[in-house]
Amino acid sequence: MNNSRSILVTGGAGFIGSHTVVSLFEAGYQPVIVDNLSNSTSSVLAGIRQLVGTDLPFYQIDCTNRTAMAEVIDKHQPAGVIHFAAFKAVGESVAKPLAYYRNNLDSLIVLLDLMGEKGISNLVFSSSCTVYGEPDALPVTEESAIKIAQSPYGYTKQVGERMIADAVQAQPNSHAILLRYFNPIGAHPSALIGELPLGVPNNLVPYITQTAAGLRSVLTVYGDDYHTPDGTCIRDYIHVLDLAEAHVAAIELLLAQKVDKTEVFNIGTGHGQSVMEVIRTFEQVNQVNLPFVIGPRRSGDVEQVWADASKAEQVLGWKAKRSLSTALEDAWRWQLHLQS
Angle at 81 between CA 75 and CA 83, to 5 degrees: 120
User: How far is Cα 80 from Cα 4, in angstroms, rounded to an integer?
Assistant: 8
User: How far is Cα 44 from Cα 40, in angstroms, rounded to an integer?
Assistant: 7
Cα 320 versus chain centre, distance:
14
User: How far is Cα 132 from Cα 82, in angstroms, rounded to an integer?
Assistant: 22
43 phi/psi in degrees, rounded to 5: -60, -30
Tell me if residue 127 falls in helix, strand or coil: strand
Helix orientation angle between 204-212 and 324-339, rounded to the nearest 10 degrees: 50
Tell me if residue 281 falls in helix, strand or coil: helix
Q: Residue 147, class by beta-carbon neighbours within 10 Å (0-12 exposed, 13-18 middle, 19+ buried)?
A: middle
Name 263's bridge partners. 177
Name 175's bridge partners. 122
Name 222's bridge partners. 295
Helix orientation angle between 106-118 and 66-76, rounded to the nearest 10 degrees: 40
Q: Judge whether 101 counts as a catalytic residue.
A: no
Helix orientation angle between 15-26 and 240-255, rounded to the nearest 10 degrees: 60
Tell me if residue 327 falls in helix, strand or coil: helix
283 phi/psi in degrees, rounded to 5: -60, -40
Of these residues, 100, 153, 226, 237, which one is catalytic? 153
Which residues does the annotation mark as catalytic?
A: 153
